[in-house]
Amino acid sequence: MYQSFEYSVTDGIALVRLNRPNKLNSIDAAMVREFGELANNVRNDRDVRVVVFTGNGRAFCAGADIANLNSINNSGEFMGFIERVQLAFNAIEDLDRPTIAAINGIAYGGGCELSLVCDFRIMAEETTIGVPEILIGVLPGAGGTQRLSKMLPPPIAKRMIYLGEPLTAAQALQFGLVNDTAPGAKVLDTAMDLARRLIKMPPLAVRCAKLLVHTGMSADLKSGIEAERQAMAFLFGTEDRVEGMGAFLGKRQASFKGR
């Protein structure tokens, strides 16, 4: 289905394995195109409830394929490439289902930025994450300057962006950039455990939750609260709400259907 990824769906969980291990899963033009295709395909596949990203080999993703970038001839062509990456990553971020980055190895540049568009990040204890682009005369161009500055304390984000210094897994956890850490061999298992927990949640409520959180990050408080009120009214009319409240009152496990 894809050249740059291994893709499978099991019990509602889509597993995306970046598959250029000999290049540390670095991002080239073909992978960018397939990120966009992936987002579109997942959006149209209602059987997919959660998406997990990880990397084959010893890296999650080392960022852009520098040899590929160096073949670009002018600023206009480079701007087109950056725009395609941004649009693809924005599309992943805007998916109406939860996404998890299982960061099994280094996540630099575009690899870090891919993890930032995911809802959850699980990171190998022995690896690092960063945006070292300034060391080659450019900057993170797939949302890194913007998302890191919103997710991290400003002094930490500035140090990463201005100096290209990565964070260890312990630092990333301390500053709230990742949700959890695990030994490298257990990272994917930990991410899949989280995915299975998400699968048990009411799908419509999870989708509304993601929309509301994203709205709250960019909207003013009153607009966000208005969106919250509308979502609550919608959810109250769902079969899942009836099931959830009935299960609570009946002291049994709820079984949600996404209706």
DSSP bridge pairs for 123:
103, 181
- Rounded to whole angstroms, what are the CA distances from 17 to 68, 105, 161? 21, 12, 27
Tell me, yes or no, if 113 is annotated catalytic: yes
Out of 37, 77, 113, 226, which one is annotated catalytic? 113
How far the first Cα of the chain sits from its last, in Å, is 30
What is the distance between the alpha carbons of residues 187 and 180, in angstroms, rounded to a whole number?
Answer: 9
Q: Give the H or E element holding residue 51.
A: strand 50-55
Annotation marks residue 34 as catalytic: no
Considering the candidates 83, 133, 165, 243, report the single residue annotated as catalytic: 133
Per-residue DSSP letters for 144-164? HHHHHHHHS-HHHHHHHHHH-
Beta-sheet pairing, 128-130 with 167-168 = antiparallel
Residues acting as catalytic residues: 113, 133
